[in-house]
Every structure is written in C-alpha cells, then in structure tokens.
Amino acid sequence: MNLFRSSLLSIAVASFATAASAQIVDHNAVRCAPVPKEEMKPQMELQRKLTSEGWKVRQIKNFNGCYEVYGFDPSGKRVEMFFDPKTFEKVGEIAQPS
C-alpha cells in the first residue's frame, strides 16, 4: 500500500509541475509590466515571428499591457497566449477546450 501512495504522490507532483510550466492562467489575472510606447515592439513584428515559427495568427490585441494572441500553434492546437510587448516573452496561456 505504501508503494501505491508513493506512486500516486509522484504522479500528482509531476502533473502539477507540468501544469505550472505551461503557465495556464486566468484571463483577468494576466498582467505585463508597464512599457513605454516607444519601447514596445510592433504587433506585426510578433505576428511575423510567430508565423515564421509555424503559427497561424488570427488576431493580436493589447490586454493589460500584454499582446494577446489568438490563433493556432505549430502543432495545430488552438491557443490564446499573452506576450510581453517589449521582449515577446510568453507570459501566460489560456487553456482552450479540446
């Protein structure tokens, strides 16, 4: 029985770590640090970058200081992701229904 509990705990920890690394967030909780307009990269530059990586970008808009991207990632998964407008670093993702 102790082996079963240990295995179950290992699975739970691995699942939590995977979910945390994916940065699945609540839509209204997403925030990017304020960036002066002159330091923000253009949205079209982000779209070109993502398209070159195999994404299909439907829309990019500003939300809470971030660039919010709607589209499909290179694997074809529908995504809603948030990027820092200065660095294009991914800051969060909204889980999409399968």
Three-state helix/strand/coil letters over the chain: CHHHHHHHHHHHHHHHHHHHHCCECCHHHCCCCCCCHHHCCCHHHHHHHHHHCCCEEEEEEEECCEEEEEEECCCCCEEEEEECCCCCCEEEEECCCC
7 within a domain of the structure (yes/no): no
CATH of the domain at 53: 3.10.450
19 within a domain of the structure (yes/no): no
Euclidean distance between CA atoms 47 and 21, whole angstroms: 23
Which pLDDT score, from 0 to 100, does residue 45 have? 98
pLDDT along the chain (98 residues), means of 10: 44 39 64 93 98 98 95 95 96 80
Which pLDDT score, from 0 to 100, does residue 98 have? 60
Question: 């294009």: which residue's tokens?
Answer: 88
Query: Whole-model pTM above 0.85?
Result: no
What domain range is 60 assigned to? 25-94
Q: What total of structural domains would you count in the chain?
A: 1
Which pLDDT score, from 0 to 100, does residue 94 have? 87
Which pLDDT score, from 0 to 100, does residue 26 have? 67
64 within a domain of the structure (yes/no): yes
4 within a domain of the structure (yes/no): no
Which pLDDT score, from 0 to 100, does residue 14 have? 40
- What are the phi and psi torsion angles at 86 (to 5°)? -95, -40
